[in-house]
Amino acid sequence: MSETAFDAKSFCSSLPLQPGIYRMLNRAGEVIYVGKAIDLKKRVSSYFQKTSLAPRTQLMVSKIASIEITITRSEAEALLLENNLIKSLKPRYNILFKDDKSYPYLMLSKHSYPRLGFHRGMLDKQHQYFGPYPNAGIVRESVQLLQKIFRIRTCEDSVFNHRTRPCLLYQIKRCSGPCVNLITQRAYLEDIRNTELFLQGKQTEVVNNLIEKMQRASDRMEYEQAALFRDQIQSLRKIREKQVIDSGKALDADVIACATLEDSNGKICVNLAMIRGGRHLGDKSFFPQNAEGHNPATIVEAFLAQHYLNRSVPHLIIIGEKIRKEALQTLLDSQAGHKVLISLNSIGERRAWLDMAAENARLALKQMINQQASQKERVRALQQALNLSNLTRIECFDISHTSGEATVASCVIYDNFSMRNNEYRRYNIDNITPGDDYAAMREALSRRYYKAIKDESRPPDLILIDGGKGQISVAQEALTELGLSNVNLLGVAKGEGRKPGLEQLIFPVTKAKKPLQLMSDHAGLHLIQQIRDEAHRFAIQGHRNRRGKARTSSSLERISGIGVKRRQGLLSRFGGLKGVLTASIEELQQTEGISRKLAEKIYKELH
C-alpha cells in the first residue's frame, strides 16, 4: 500500500448519492470496517466532518488508508451485502457476534406412525418442525416430556421396521408400541395430534380433548384406559403450573434485550428469549466482540442483521431499542415468506417478556465478568508459580486408548482466559507399537508443531503434557528436533491415589528443577486441572468414537463380497451392526445389492 496520507476530501467529493456499502482499509490492505448507507456520499463524509466522534471511531478513522465502495439498488440489498462481508472478513471495528451454525429443532416425521426426534441442520419440508430451541438440552428435555405424556416413538425407521417385540421404552411407559401393533394407527395419530397442539401452545385444547376421552372410556367401564388419560391430564396441568410465561396464545416470538454494567469494562450482553406456541422455551446470551463504545441500539441492530439473515425467523421480534428497521424488515419479510413484525414500543405482556430478557442479560453479563476475573487470577497465580514472563496461550496434550486399540491424541487450547473449542485438534495414531504412549506423544507433538512451524505460527507460552518424566522426556526430544527447545514444557503427573490436588508438576531435565507440588487450593493448580481434564475428556471422546466405528464395521469387513457400499447399506437398513446380527436371511436379502447366496454367507459368518 502507498504511504501517502488518505485524501478524504477528494475521495468523498466523488462519491455517489446512492445506497451501497463501504469498506475501510488500513495500510496493510486489511478491511478494518464495513458499513452500509442509504446515501454513500453523506454517510462516508460524516466520518471526516464530525468533531464529536467517539474515541474508538477516531482511532479507526486515523488508520484509514483507502476506502472501497459497492453501489446497491436499495438499502435492504446493502444490508444483506454488509452482513455477508462482516461474517466473512470479521473487520476489527465492526460489532461481531458468534455465528451459531444452526439451532436445534424438535421434529415430527411424516410417516404412517410419525417419529419424534431431535433435528439440527437443513429443514426437510416433508416433516414438521418445532422451534428453534436455544440449546440441545432443552430439545431433549422436551422429547422426554412428550414421551412421558403422549408415548410417541423416537426410534429410527431401521429399528422400527424390524422389531418383533416391544422395547424397554414400552415397558417403562414411554412408548405405546406401534412397532408391534400394540396401539391402533388411529389412536396413535390422535396422540400425534395432541402433541402438535401442545407444541403449538394450545394446551387447553389438549386437556379438553383428554378430558372428553377419559369420560368416554369411563362410561365404557374401560377404567385402565381412563386412568391413562387422567395421568396425561395431570402431567399437562403440572407443566402449565411450572411454566413461567404462558400467554395462552399460540404465539411465536423472539425477545431481544441488551445490557451493560458499570464495572463491565465496556462488555455488553445481548439476551435472546424464545417464545414458541406462547411458551417460553429458554434463552441464550451473546457477548459481541468490538462492541465497546457503541450504544445499545447499534448493537441490537447489528445482532438482528447477523443473527436472522439466512435463518428461520418468527412472526414477531420484540426489542427495547429504537432502531432503523425498514431495510431489515423488508429483508426478513422476503426471507421468511411471511410478515415479520419488529416491535419497538412494547406494553403489557410483551413488556414483561422484554423485562425478563433484560434481567437475564444483566445476570449473564455479571456471571461472565466474575468468571473472567477468576480466570485472570488463575493465570496470574500459575505465571508466578512457574516464574514465567508471559502466560497467555496454553496447549495441553493427552493420549487415550484401550490396550493399544484405536489410539487418539488430543490437543486442547486455552487462550486469553478461556478454552478455545474451535481450535481443538485430535490425532489418530497408527504407526506405532500398540500401547506405546511415549511414541504416541512424540507423533502428536511432531505433527502439531511441524504444521505450526510451516505456517509460521507463534508457539504457545506453555505446553502441558498429561504424564510424568517419561512423557516429558519424549516431548522435549520431539520439540528439540523441530527447533522449539526454548518453548516452556510442563508435565502433570497424577498424585498418590490419583487424587485431585496431589498432582506433581514435572519439568524437563534441561531445566534441572525438582518436581513442583502446589497446594490443593492454589489458583494456578486449578487452572492446570481445568485444562488437563478438558484434554482428557476430548481424548477419551475421540478414542471412543474411533473404537466404536472400528468395531461396528470390523465384523462385516471380514466377509468377502461385502464392500464399503454394501456394508453401509446393511448398517443403514438395520440401524447398526446389532440389527444386522438379529436379521434373518430373508431380511438380509431385501437389502439392495445383497443376493440370496450372499445373504446366506453373511448370516453364516455372523452366527
Amino acid 102: pLDDT:
72
What is the average per-residue pLDDT within 45-58?
A: 84
Query: What does the block give as the cell for 390?
Result: 508471559
CA-to-CA distance for 302 and 229, rounded, in angstroms?
Answer: 48
Highest averaged pLDDT of the listed ranges 46-55, 209-218, 239-248, 401-410: 401-410
- Minimal CA–CA distance to 471: which of 500, 440, 447? 440
CA-to-CA distance for 343 and 345, rounded, in angstroms?
Answer: 6
What is the average per-residue pLDDT within 425-430?
A: 93
pLDDT digits (tens, 9 = 90+) for 168-204: 888 888 898 999 999 999 989 988 988 888 777 777 7
The third-level CATH classification (topology) of the domain covering 8-89 is GIY-YIG endonuclease (3.40.1440)
Query: What does the block give as the cell for 208?
Result: 379438553
Whether 488 and 461 have beta carbons less than 8 Å apart is answered as yes
CA-to-CA distance for 71 and 66, rounded, in angstroms?
Answer: 17
Tell me the one-letter amino acid at 488: N
CA gyration radius, the chain? 30
DSSP H/E element including 5: none
Tallying the residues shown for the chain, one arrives at: 607
What is the average per-residue pLDDT within 103-108?
A: 86
Rounded to 5 degrees, what angle do the CA atoms 208, 210, 215 make? 95
Q: What percent of the chain clears pLDDT 70, i.e. is strictly above it?
A: 94
Task: Assess whether pLDDT exceeds 50 at residue 269.
Answer: yes
Give every CB contact of residue 441 below 8 A, 6+ residues apart in sequence. 397, 399, 409, 465, 467, 471, 474, 475, 478
pLDDT digits (tens, 9 = 90+) for 275-297: 887 778 888 899 998 888 888 99
pLDDT digits (tens, 9 = 90+) for 454-470: 877 888 999 999 998 99
Name the pLDDT band for 3 (thresholds 50, 70, 90): low
Tell me the one-letter amino acid at 332: L
Query: What does the block give as the cell for 232?
Result: 396425561
Name the pLDDT band for 235 (thresholds 50, 70, 90): low
Name the pLDDT band for 242 (thresholds 50, 70, 90): very low
Whether 379 and 504 have beta carbons less than 8 Å apart is answered as no
Residue 290: DSSP 8-state: S
CA-to-CA distance for 139 and 118, rounded, in angstroms?
Answer: 7
CA-to-CA distance for 20 and 35, rounded, in angstroms?
Answer: 9
Placement of cell 455517489 in the chain = 16
Secondary structure class of 29 (helix, strand, coil): coil
Amino acid 246: pLDDT:
44
Amino acid 191: pLDDT:
87
Could you tell me where the DSSP H helices lie in 200-348?
203-219, 223-242, 296-308, 326-336
- Minimal CA–CA distance to 364: which of 354, 352, 372? 372
Task: Assess whether pLDDT exceeds 50 at residue 606.
Answer: yes
More confident residue, 213 or 93: 93
Amino acid 552: pLDDT:
56
Query: What does the block give as the cell for 60?
Result: 479507526
What is the average per-residue pLDDT within 551-576?
A: 73
Task: Assess whether pLDDT exceeds 80 at residue 266.
Answer: no
Identify the CATH class of 253-367. Answer: alpha beta
Could you tell me where the DSSP H helices lie in 387-516?
437-454, 469-481
Question: What Cα–Cα distance (Å) separates residue 545 from each residue in 398, 409, 503, 566, 569?
Answer: 16, 13, 29, 22, 20
Highest averaged pLDDT of the listed ranges 229-233, 321-325, 363-367, 579-583: 363-367
Tell me the one-letter amino acid at 561: G
Amino acid 393: pLDDT:
95
- Minimal CA–CA distance to 410: which of 553, 509, 517, 545? 545
Whether 116 and 147 have beta carbons less than 8 Å apart is answered as yes
Q: What are phi and psi of 229, to 5 degrees?
A: -65, -35
More confident residue, 301 or 564: 301
Q: For the sheet containing 116-120, what is the strand order?
A: 116-120, 104-108, 128-130
Amino acid 509: pLDDT:
82
Query: What does the block give as the cell for 11?
Result: 475521495
- Minimal CA–CA distance to 320: which of 333, 304, 308, 306? 304
CA-to-CA distance for 74 and 112, rounded, in angstroms?
Answer: 47
pLDDT digits (tens, 9 = 90+) for 501-532: 889 999 998 776 888 999 989 999 999 999 99
Residue 460: DSSP 8-state: P
More confident residue, 121 or 433: 433
Amino acid 243: pLDDT:
47
CA-to-CA distance for 545 and 602, rounded, in angstroms?
Answer: 25
pLDDT digits (tens, 9 = 90+) for 376-409: 999 999 999 999 999 999 999 999 998 888 899 9
339-349 exposure pattern, b = at least 16 Cβ within 10 A, e = fewer: ebebbeebeee
Task: Assess whether pLDDT exceeds 70 at residue 575.
Answer: no
Name the pLDDT band for 438 (thresholds 50, 70, 90): very high
Give every CB contact of residue 258 below 8 A, 6+ residues apart in sequence. 268, 269, 270, 271, 296, 299, 300, 303, 320, 321, 358, 361
Tell me the one-letter amino acid at 524: G
Task: Assess whether pLDDT exceeds 70 at residue 77.
Answer: yes
Whether 447 and 425 have beta carbons less than 8 Å apart is answered as no
Name the pLDDT band for 249 (thresholds 50, 70, 90): low
pTM confidence score: 0.69
User: Do 253-367 and 393-546 agree at the fold level?
Assistant: yes
Amino acid 553: pLDDT:
55
Task: Assess whether pLDDT exceeds 80 at residue 579.
Answer: no
Could you tell me where the DSSP H helices lie in 1-74?
8-13, 40-49, 55-62
Highest averaged pLDDT of the listed ranges 89-98, 121-130, 302-311: 89-98
Level-2 CATH architecture, domain 393-546: 2-Layer Sandwich (3.30)
The domain spans of the chain are 8-89, 111-242, 253-367, 393-546, 558-606
Task: Assess whether pLDDT exceeds 50 at residue 114.
Answer: yes
The third-level CATH classification (topology) of the domain covering 558-606 is DNA polymerase; domain 1 (1.10.150)
The per-residue pLDDT of the chain, averaged, comes to 85
Whether 464 and 528 have beta carbons less than 8 Å apart is answered as yes
pLDDT digits (tens, 9 = 90+) for 117-172: 888 877 777 888 887 888 888 788 888 888 888 888 998 887 888 888 888 888 88
Name the pLDDT band for 318 (thresholds 50, 70, 90): very high
Amino acid 1: pLDDT:
44
